[in-house]
Amino acid sequence: MSVESVYEAAGGDAGMHRLAEAWHVRVMVDEVVGHAFSHGYHPQHTERLAAYWAEALGGPAAYSGAFGDETQVVRIHSGNGVHDEMDQRAVACFDQALDDVGVSANERLRQVLHDYFAWATSAAMARYPDSPDDVPDGLGIPQWSWDGLSGQA
């Protein structure tokens, strides 16, 4: 018998989409994080974000199969300098989104999702503050399990 993945525990594709939608709503109205979206964003941002989170949390490889690899994601988030306050507020918006979609009822799941997003925001997406050109080719989407970072796809 296999252990349920974080992705499955969070509601699968539908759960990831609800969470991505709730987070997106929160960050768009945040006076600091909203600035990151002020110059526009992909019209399918929520769907892509949900697919990315799903893949990172043990779901199907829908993001990398349809949209790109980790290199492309990190490049989008690179070259903007260090922005600790924005990162902290993005994590706070994520925590609020977890409450919005009812994940708070499961403390273990809530903590694992929080830890994943905090790590992804402050480490994975913040590795190359100077230039997107610094991001190496061929990065795989990091995999996150109940025990934390478990490798790259």
Domain membership of residue 82 (yes or no) is yes
Give CA separation, 121 vs 4, 51, 65, 78, in Å: 25, 17, 22, 11
Domain membership of residue 1 (yes or no) is no
Domain membership of residue 50 (yes or no) is yes
Domain range for residue 92? 6-152
Report the predicted TM-score, pTM, of the whole model to 2 decimal places.
0.89
In this structure, what CATH number is given to the domain that contains residue 23?
Answer: 1.10.490.10
Number of domains into which the chain is organized: 1
CB 129 within 8 A of CB 78: yes
Domain membership of residue 92 (yes or no) is yes
Cβ neighbours of residue 68 closer than 8 Å, sequence gap 6 or more: none
Domain membership of residue 55 (yes or no) is yes
Domain membership of residue 19 (yes or no) is yes
Q: Would you call 151 helix, strand, or coil by DSSP?
A: strand
Q: Say which DSSP state 115 is in.
A: H
Q: Is 102 left (phi over 0), alpha (psi -120 to 50) or beta?
A: left
| pLDDT attached to residue 152 | 56
Q: Which spans in 57-83 are helix H?
A: 62-66, 70-76
Over its length of 153 residues, how does the chain's per-residue pLDDT go in tens digits?
Answer: 567 999 999 999 999 999 999 999 999 999 888 777 767 677 888 999 999 999 999 999 999 999 999 999 888 877 776 878 888 999 999 999 999 999 989 999 999 999 999 999 888 888 888 999 999 999 999 999 999 998 654
CB 86 within 8 A of CB 39: no
Domain membership of residue 33 (yes or no) is yes
